[in-house]
Amino acid sequence: MRPTIPHRGPVSDTGAPGAKPGPDAELSKPELEPPTPAELAAEAPPEPAAAPGSGDTQRAARAAGPEAVPHGEDTEAARHYKDRWLRAEAELQNFRRRAQRDVEEARQFVEERGLITVLEQLDDLERALEAARGAGAPERWVEGVELVAQRMREHLARHGVREIQAVGAPFDPGVHEALLEMEPKPGIAPGHVMQVVRKGYERGGRALRPARVVVAKRPG
């Protein structure tokens, strides 16, 4: 490094210290050159080396270049994170399927409860029609009630509800509800439905409301 020139105060044209500078004093001052990059690098203190086994060793190796990264450790970490990602993805898919199934079951339950309410109202109308015909009610009144009942049947049919034909069919606990057994009538085989006490309805291949029936008694 170049030596520093000490400042000795103003110097006159004659060179005597303390004298007033002449008009050409600024031109006679020596110029200082800035230090070169090599000189600055020589003066800079050396950076401390990373301690062996420290947590920054792997990061320093990665910063040094791809050839310095330990390939075995990197591959093992990739397999670990890939396995965790696959497990999380599978759990998410299972959750979505369960949520969709729960929503569908809740929607179907609410829909069927509404249809069963309509069936109960239709039962009341049909009983009223039977009583009106037996009591000799005016025909126009009976026709009006029958029209309302028919509209309700059409509404149920649009939602896939149809009546279970039970009389003469073998007893099926999936769609029939036996109230009692009686001696079979002519033309009705034992174990078959003899009479329907309350109509049954099905929807989508399963009983929406089972039919309440009387079953022909089996011998013995």
Interval 63-76: pLDDT, tens: 544 444 445 556 88
Element (H, E) at 95: helix 71-134
Query: Identity (one letter) of the amino acid at 194?
Result: M
Q: Which CATH class is domain 74-159?
A: alpha beta
Q: Domain residues of the chain, as ranges?
A: 74-159, 160-220
User: Domain 160-220 belongs to what topology?
Assistant: Nucleotide Exchange Factor Grpe; Chain A, domain 2 (2.30.22)
Task: Give residue 219's pLDDT band: very low, low, confident or very high (50, 70, 90).
Answer: confident
**Which residues touch 57 (CB under 8 Å, ≥6 apart)?**
50
Q: With contact defined as beta carbons under 8 Å apart, do 166 and 196 qualify? A: yes
Per residue in 30-40, pLDDT (tens digit) is 455 666 666 65
Instruction: Say if pTM beats, i.e. exceeds, 0.85.
Output: no
**Which residues touch 122 (CB under 8 Å, ≥6 apart)?**
149, 152, 153, 156
- Arithmetic mean of pLDDT, 85-99: 94
**Are 74-159 and 160-220 equal in CATH topology?**
no
